[in-house]
Amino acid sequence: MTLEEVLASPMQAPPLTRLQCCPPTCGAAAAIVCSDEFAKKHNISKPIYIAAQSMYTDFSGSFENRSPMSIVGYDMTAAAAKEVYANAGIGPDEVDVVELHDCFTCNELVTYEALGLTPEGTAEKFIEDGDNTYGGRIVTNPSGGLLSKGHPLGATGLAQCAELVWQLRGEAGVRQVEGARIGLRDDGVEDRGGEGDGLGGAHGPELELVAREGERRGAVAVAGMPRQLGHRARPEVEQVALEGALREALLDLHQDVGEHLAEEDRDDRGR
């Protein structure tokens, strides 16, 4: 598929054309997170370890500063990235391969910078220099990402996990990133109306660093959900303010409807 074909596809939401938006698809996925003992018992010879996980939700400023970057989740992703690097004892310059949430083309650019793969304001140069792919500084979405393989919602994150496990085991075939030792997974932000970096996060983003044995540094070997790791799922949405605004809107609507019904009732009595 050529750049010209992508740009010439039907416009969805300017400047995004249809081929810049991932297709929602059907799918399912499962993964087994196990102990070292279980792995040895079942002859799993190439274990991949969860080095760290982090998950954030909206900050109060996500809506207060009226920044589109904040609304689509940049601040949350950046905070989660800093935390996951710190907990793993690994810097972004040490990551070899990344599976990130590219539900739209623009999301990938925003996420490059939020994950610290390139400094703020340099995502375009990061791409032009070929630093985001084979032969560059880091390979992103060797699976093809959501834009290539579709987005089966809940199964998407585990598909990213599977790709990183294959990469770190050296089992990714023609997609193999040479010498991959450390991988990063960004599962994006689930918005309040569906999926993807769209209207702030209901629970995301979720970041996960995975590593081959010997590369996990001071991190945990096995982990479940982020709270088991001791990381913070931070409910910093201005929930009270949002509920207050919603309540006011509903009261206004109720009053308008009440006045309208009362007026109709008076008309009926008059007749």
Tens of pLDDT, residues 98-109: 999 998 998 899
Average pLDDT, the chain: 77
Contact present, 71 and 59 (Cβ < 8 Å): no
pLDDT at 201: 43
Averaged pLDDT for residues 196-205? 41
Q: Strand 16-17 and strand 206-212: pairing?
A: unpaired
Rg (CA), the chain: 23
Q: Residue 243 pLDDT more than 50?
A: no
Model confidence, pTM: 0.74
Q: Residue 163 pLDDT more than 70?
A: yes
Which of 24-27's residues contact partners 24+ apart within 8 Å by CB, and which partners?
A: 24/150, 24/151, 24/152, 24/153, 24/195, 25/149, 25/150, 25/151, 25/152, 26/152, 27/150, 27/152, 27/155, 27/156, 27/159
Q: Where are the beta strands (DSSP E) in the chain?
A: 11-13, 16-17, 48-56, 97-99, 139-140, 182-186, 206-212, 233-234
Q: Which of 229, 215, 214 is nearest to 94 (CA)?
A: 215
Q: From CA 235, how far away is CA 55, in angstroms rounded? A: 10
pLDDT at 155: 86
Q: Which of 143, 141, 95 is nearest to 117 (CA)?
A: 95
Contact present, 211 and 182 (Cβ < 8 Å): yes
Least confident of 12-16, 70-74, 189-193: 189-193
Cα dihedral 17, 193, 243, 232 sign? negative
Contact present, 159 and 29 (Cβ < 8 Å): yes
pLDDT at 74: 87
